[in-house]
Amino acid sequence: MVDFSLGEDLEALRASVREFAHDVVAPVIGDYYERHAFPYDLVRQMGKMGLFGLPLPEEYGGMGGDYLALCVALEELARVDSSIAVTLEAGISLGAMPIFRYGTEDQRRHWLPKLTSGEALAAFGLTEPGAGSDAGGTRTRAVLDEETGEWVINGSKAFITNSGTDITALVTVTAVTGTNPDGSKELSAIIVPSGTPGFTVQPGYSKVGWCASDTHELNFDNVRVPAANLLGERGRGYAQFLRILDEGRVAFAALGVGLAQGCVDESLSYAKQRHAFGHPIGDYQAVQFKIADMEARAHTARLAYLDAASRMVNGREFKRQAAIAKLQASDAAVVNAREATQVHGGYGFMNETPVARMWRDAKILEIGEGTSEVQRMIISRSLGL
């Protein structure tokens, strides 16, 4: 028999994060969202709860858990707000995990305790104005100055999460460091600490959603960092970030499921309160069926991410399952957000309601960490097409 129960520890984690999301995040996040302000106080509290160290070993300040624990926490946070959830997701999946997976022991011991405590954030500089899904279009370059033993970096990155906060400690940057024997670009990953001369963080974007998360364009003008800041092997940057994105898609799927389930939560509550023609609107079959379909989408997407996460933590191949989970969860989030807005009627179009935030936040889930088209490409290739 297949058992989808999570066990006592994960259920305890779920309950703890759910309480934090409802009691601490929900009452204040709308104000942060409307002001486009980063919720430093909430991030600090998440750090004290150990959430930023969930899947990382205790020797580096982590909680000694795994990606399934991270996914459970992300789902519960996103049921209330996606900005705070993506801050955690990117802080771990794209910030700390590259250091843990590919860093030297010195790099791990220097950076990870700060990141797992939530005292600092790290970002992952992959996307560029002309290179998103097509990493081969990367133009940022890093040249090794043999005389000084430093990398000299020039270029720019776009749409980078957690890259410009007051507590951002570093950005891991992918850059062209040479040419491969077959003529393709040699890509490597390099750690650039915040405040390095020539490294400029541009003003934050005006975004449709995720308005309480931090997103910036980054510029690198003759930025010099030690050769020892190379992350992993030279020329392996492409393979490294593919693995990081595979893992990140599992976490991203959990975030999408949280948003989809949050739409169910809000719609159920509203359907019981709102009366029309003498009855709660939840008494009408049209509303009942709409909410039933929303629940089915969230449940199905949850099973997909649980499968991908289980495969991952057990050392099994999970690339296709991660793509499926991300595709299903983002679709469920977008459709459920639209339907939840419909259930709420005019109130769903008012920014002070949670479903309005969810509607604005949902679309990026079909774009970030690999578009839906990229997920379909991964799935079809894995089938031999």
Give the residue numbers marked as catalytic. Answer: 369
Tokens of 292: 């039933």
SS (H, E, C) the chain: CCCCCCCHHHHHHHHHHHHHHHHHHHHHHHHHHHHCCCCHHHHHHHHHCCHHHCCCCHHHCCCCCCHHHHHHHHHHHHCCCHHHHHHHHHHHHHHHHHHHHHCCHHHHHHHHHHHHCCCCEEEEECCECCECCCHHHCCCEEEEECCCCEEEEEEEEEEEECCCCCCEEEEEEEEEEEECCCCCEEEEEEEEECCCCCEEECCCCCCCCCCCCCEEEEEEEEEEEEHHHEECCCCCHHHHHHHHHHHHHHHHHHHHHHHHHHHHHHHHHHHHHCEECCEEHHHCHHHHHHHHHHHHHHHHHHHHHHHHHHHHHCCCCCHHHHHHHHHHHHHHHHHHHHHHHHHHHHHHHCCCCHHHHHHHHHHHHHCCCCCHHHHHHHHHHHCCC
- The Cα–Cα gap between 262 and 253 comes to 14
- Residue where the block lists tokens 């720019």: 156
Work out whether the CA dihedral 129, 132, 137, 139 comes out positive or negative: positive
Tokens of 158: 């776009």
